[in-house]
Amino acid sequence: MAKLTKRTVDALQPGTPDYFVWDDDLAGFGLRVWPTGRKVYVAQYRAAGRTRRVKIGGHGALTVEEARKLAKGILGDVAKGEDPQEDRQTRRKSLTVNELCASYLVAAERGMIRGKGGRPKKASTLYVDRGRIDRHIKPLLGTKLVKDLTQADVSRFVRDVASGKTATVEKTGNKRGKAVVEGGPGTAARTTGLLGGILSFAVSEGIIPFNPAAGVKRPADNHRHRRLSPDEFRALGEAQAAAERDGERWQAVAGIRLLALTGCRFEEIAGLKWSEVDDAGGCFRLEDSKEGRSVRPIGRAAFDVLASLPCADGAVYVLPSVRGEGSRYGGLPGAIERVMKRAGLDDVTAHTLRHSYASVAGDLGFAEPTIAAMLGHAKGSVTSRYVHHLDSVITAAADRVSARIVLYFDT
């Protein structure tokens, strides 16, 4: 017996077999320590002559006090004559996919669902997850019982999303706003990946014994392998110039240009701050990219674009909002659609520009590790938060790639 505090819990070492440590302040509240080092809070009680145990949550996802509060609620229900473990098992048997998705999102918002690099999912990622759940998963699978879900159901789900069964156009909260919900192989692949994660959560919670999405083949996302040819780069350059002459916002034109010349992800450019721009170091020092903090080599051609942009005193964002101060420009997605349509490139997205940047680097003979470093992939050598000075070879590579793309634009 011991008083469970953060200090005592952190000090507990794994052993073989697993063992329990019980709190001497709240009877029935304890911690299970696994040989792997995993630590899980539990509540234990007796009901109908049997000892029952309820898992509360993992240490780290919950603080000691949060777990203690939940344990008090569980043990309070026992004092009223209820059996929380029996009730939980009954609920699990009747849990629908709709209800599972709601539980998953709550856990994700609390930081209990880990994304890339073992980090909690970001708010932007959760926003996308909610959209995929509401627009694809719930309409096709929402009323099904989780325990009855089969691999055949998931395979049928993949086919339905890929064929556009859930495609629609929805009104949004913005005035005259709309959301275009698309199907296709790419949407099916990414949404099935999310569904697999939700079902893995169900396995970890003891709701189902195995993941029915495991082994289901996802369609290839051909859209993500699209790249621009030199002629298409030229058409895009002409379309940008024409759009600027016709009154397109400078933020829009600059944003598209920077996406093409840096290979950065959409959010990395849309949310780029002046504090992240390191001209002397030849890089962007991104505070919160998809891979966490990231140092990204940037070519001189991109810095030339940045040097031409207006920058008011105290400006935070490179692409600031048209109205108000301190917020970023929100019209880039629509501007990309307009400019691409003008260029005759209706199937080109921000990701296409990123892939095209990588393809140009490949055309110039750069090796995969160098390209990965320029793109900020997790395995790229410059994505470490500890890097302060970039290798001159990688910086020179970024210069060559951006210069080649400018040449395509202006030819």
Tell me: do 202 and 279 sit in the same domain: no
Tell me: do 107 and 67 sit in the same domain: no
The pLDDT confidence band at residue 175, using thresholds 50, 70 and 90, is low
Q: Which residues pair with 285 in a beta bridge?
A: 295
Tell me: do 127 and 156 sit in the same domain: yes
Range list of β-strands (E), 258-312? 277-278, 283-289, 292-297
Q: What is the pLDDT of residue 332?
A: 93
Tell me: do 275 and 301 sit in the same domain: yes
The pLDDT confidence band at residue 325, using thresholds 50, 70 and 90, is low
- What is the rounded average pLDDT of the residues 203-232? 84
Contacts of 36 (CB under 8 A, 6+ apart): 14
The pLDDT confidence band at residue 53, using thresholds 50, 70 and 90, is very high
Contact, 142 vs 133, CB < 8 A? Answer: no
Domain count within the chain: 3
Q: What is the pLDDT of residue 160?
A: 94
Q: What is the pLDDT of residue 382?
A: 42
CATH of the domain at 320: 1.10.443.10
The pLDDT confidence band at residue 90, using thresholds 50, 70 and 90, is low
Q: What is the pLDDT of residue 192?
A: 95
Tell me: do 326 and 234 sit in the same domain: yes
- The better pLDDT of the pair 287, 153 is held by 153
Tell me: do 348 and 314 sit in the same domain: yes
Tell me: do 361 and 246 sit in the same domain: yes
Closest CA to 295 of 282, 311, 283, 279: 283
Q: What is the pLDDT of residue 380?
A: 43
- What is the rounded average pLDDT of the residues 16-38? 94
Contact, 272 vs 262, CB < 8 A? Answer: no
Tell me: do 386 and 259 sit in the same domain: yes
Residue type at position 117: G
Tell me: do 384 and 400 sit in the same domain: yes
Q: Give me the percent of the chain exceeding a pLDDT of 70.
A: 89
The pLDDT confidence band at residue 40, using thresholds 50, 70 and 90, is very high
State phi, psi for 55 to the nearest 5 degrees: -75, 130
Residues spanned by the domain of 38: 6-83
Q: What is the pLDDT of residue 300?
A: 95
- What is the rounded average pLDDT of the residues 44-57? 90
Alpha carbons 171 and 248: distance in angstroms, whole number: 25
3-state secondary structure of 320: strand
Please give the mean pLDDT across all residues of the chain: 87
Please report whether residue 183 resides in a domain. yes
- Look at the block and give the residue holding tokens 């539980």: 103
Q: What is the pLDDT of residue 388?
A: 42
Alpha carbons 313 and 295: distance in angstroms, whole number: 25
